[in-house]
Amino acid sequence: MSTDEKFENSKDKLGGQAKEGLGKLTGDKETQAEGQAQQGKADAKDKLQDARDTVKGALNGLDKKD
């Protein structure tokens, strides 16, 4: 995963946490849910990129064996 992608995902997670916290503080369920969704989206992006990196690593390993 590139540094830019890690930074963007971390930024999205922190933004989602802040939004969720603000929603809890103000009693705004919609803002709270938006924050949770934003965090979930960032987590999904992390997992997808980790899977891509694993596949790339496996393919590189296969290429080196030949």
27: left (phi over 0), alpha (psi -120 to 50) or beta: left
What is the pTM assigned to this prediction?
0.76
What 3-state DSSP class applies to 57?
A: helix
In this prediction, residue 63 carries a pLDDT of 76
DSSP one-letter code for 12 = H
> In the chain, pLDDT over 70 holds for what percent of residues?
95
- What does the block give as tokens for 1? 């995963």
Domains in the chain, number: 1
Domain that holds residue 11: 3-64
Tens digits of residue pLDDT in 8-44: 999 999 999 999 999 999 999 999 999 999 999 999 9
Please indicate whether residue 60 or residue 19 has the higher confidence score (pLDDT).
Answer: 19
